[in-house]
Structure 1
């Protein structure tokens, strides 16, 4: 039987206390305990990117990493991007306008990787965009649309 412990996790700017097995992967806590379904279970091996979130501003896999490793860190999920009921985040808008996602399974990872890049470099080259997104597996093969969407977002002069 797993021993539960009290953890405080900061998710999308909100600190939350949770009683959980400290070895439970963060992905499961986000989905099952916090109801955040943006991060997905893909490969379970830190390889496909479906489970990505930003942790202290860095795109991070969550499918294997224990939730206790994230205590005291700022976790941002795709749900945290949508700050206003009537307005999309500039990156969401660019992805939508470019029709970048087909099935949507990789969308979370693509958006988190792109957001990390744009916050560090608001005007990346195509090579930098490709290098940022290459770690995300898109089985539909729409990488070119994702790359164009990130270029469009960068050209929008938005603050990320």
Structure 2
């Protein structure tokens, strides 16, 4: 038995190490840039973009969305997620009920692919959530940019992707 184990170790000693994107960390969880395709998956940490809270609980128009992404709007840089291999993106776009500076503000969210092709443009405001459903055929990166118009003197406020998921 010991000789068999030694022979197996020698056989694989010179084998190539898997690439970093496919390696599993010490905790046994996948690399954040790698998401296996298993049904519906809530959005995690974006590939590019900053100041995004992910998988957090938000209330939009009195409805609870426990697996949401939240960020400031307008955003300085587009935010993008790796969605390669998935067929659909769904979310409820809205302004969280507790967002400051939201009264009188209108949010315009643009969803594009990695090449800048616009997939969807949606508007929302406090108390006016929007359901978003985007086919992802040929899309490797889902890129989100956000603009805000308001006459309330505020410059920014939170916007949320309620239970944003790919499947």
Structure (1/2) with the larger helix percentage:
1
Bucket of the pairwise TM-score, normalised by the shorter protein? under 0.3
User: TM-score, normalized by length of structure 1?
Assistant: 0.23
Larger Rg belongs to: 2
User: TM-score, normalized by length of structure 2?
Assistant: 0.23
Structure (1/2) with the larger strand percentage:
2
Q: Which has the higher contact order (CA 8 A, sep 6+)?
A: 2
